Amino acid sequence: MTDEFDEIETGRRSGAHRQDSAAQSNVGAIALVIILALVAVLLVVAAINIITSSMKNPEADVADSGSDKSASASPSPSESEVSVADSSLNVDVLNGSGVSGVAQDFSEAVEEKGWSIGQVGNYSTALTDSTVYYSGEENASQAKMVADALGIEATEASTDFDADITVVICSDIADRGPEPSDGGSEEGGSGEGG
């Protein structure tokens, strides 16, 4: 397509000459605008991430990860490692459920299994799952035996208690009481007969 500016008569000036490089400079400008827009979007996303992460409570992350590590770090002993209650260990039984008489019921069951009873009383906690705490790795297998004897799933190392083993009864098992020593859940599993 031609126009009056493309056909110039000699000796007469009719218009300006068009440059072919104008299209190339537009492509460069468009590319520069796109790059600047991407950089701006990335800066906005980074600023939002920084703001939202600074609004979190950093202590909550530390508390959650610390409790997960201590629970998963404790090895669960097998039945072959320990099979007899160690009567030299003191076992405290604390009622954290708010149900009257629970600590006494569970402490009698612990004593019947062969452990020595220490303190029996109430304990203030917001936890709802019963746990058997032990002081020192040498008590881990005995704590697991106490937990199994009472029908408690969780054992955890802790320095918060004075006794060798401390049972904290919470609302999850307070109403049903301690389980019998056989537990009924491992019928036929060990093959031990006599």
Q: Tens of pLDDT along 39-77?
A: 999 999 999 988 887 776 655 555 444 444 444 444 444
CA angle 28, 33, 34 (to 5 degrees): 100
Per the CB < 8 A criterion, the answer to whether 115 and 172 are in contact is: no
Residue 183 has pLDDT above 60, yes or no: no
Question: Could you read off the pLDDT of 88-117 as tens digits, one per residue?
Answer: 888 999 999 888 888 898 999 899 888 899
What pLDDT was estimated at residue 23? Answer: 57
What is d(CA 184, CA 113) in angstroms, rounded to the nearest whole number? 16
What is d(CA 91, CA 79) in angstroms, rounded to the nearest whole number? 20
What CATH number does domain 70-169 carry, 3.40.50.1010, 3.40.50.300, 3.30.70.2390, 3.30.450.20?
Answer: 3.30.70.2390
Torsion of CA 12, 18, 20, 26, to 10 degrees: 170
